[in-house]
Chains A and B, each alone.
Chain A
Amino acid sequence: ELKVEQNPLFLSMQEGKNYTIYCNYSTTSDRLYWYRQDPGKSLESLFVLLSNGAVKQEGRLMASLDTKARLSTLHITAAVHDLSATYFCAVDTTDKLIFGTGTRLQVFP
């Protein structure tokens, strides 16, 4: 059974700091997505990573994919309060997505 694990599950960080969220998965896949979810809201697509070595950046967030290591990272640069949310990675297994456990990010002044 495919497992997708995120680390950490909860992250409290100060504004202006940098940090990385990790997403490990247990089977072969070269397609991975990152989503953001605000409390009580739906999922917002952040990044689509479709090949080994893919790197995407948007604002203070940068995502990468290493299919050989079965690892994706979401790097946060100079965090701001507006980034506070829950972040999910999701692995594409061709016919469905398997979501990671989620990382709840809280950014404080």
Chain B
Amino acid sequence: DTEVTQTPKHLVMGMTNKKSLKCEQHMGHRAMYWYKQKAKKPPELMFVYSYEKLSINESVPSRFSPECPNSSLLNLHLHALQPEDSALYLCASSQDLATGGYEQYFGPGTRLTVT
């Protein structure tokens, strides 16, 4: 199984809502990532988890809160978002992080619209 799954595929939320994005992989990977991608732009790294611990936070606003409940799951909790947060949110995983050189596998993404 070389698949990363993400739910939901689409999400529309108001600025006062609380919602969560979910990502799952069963490849035994120990590194998981959240990226944000705006239209016609490259993906931008948000968070990296390594062995279920937050390894990198790219100065992301606190209205985005990541969580890694176990080695297969990665969540992104959303609260009080702004319209400019509308984007495609991509999850990825890789075998490890420490030495690099491990290919990242991307999920299908969640298309988020904040109204």
Contact = CB atoms under 8 A, between A and B. Distances in A.
Interface residues of A, number: 23
A14 interface: no
Contacts of A97: 45, 104
Main DSSP-derived SS at the B contact region: loop
Interface of B: 33, 40-45, 48, 55-56, 88, 90, 97, 99-101, 103-109, 111
Contacts of A99: 42-44
A100 B105 CA distance: 17
Interface of A: 31, 33, 35, 40-45, 48, 50, 88, 92-97, 99-102, 104
A94 B42 contact: no
Contacts of B105: 45
B103 A95 contact: no
B105 to A, nearest CB: 7
Given A43-B106, A95-B48, A96-B48, A101 B100 contact: no
A40 to B, nearest CB: 8
B41 A102 contact: yes
Contacts of B90: 42-43
A101 B45 contact: no
Given A31-B101, A48-B103, 17 more contacts: A31-B100, A33-B103, A35-B106, A40-B88, A45-B103, A50-B101, A88-B43, A94-B100, A95-B56, A95-B97, A96-B48, A96-B56, A97-B104, A99-B42, A99-B43, A100-B42, A102-B41
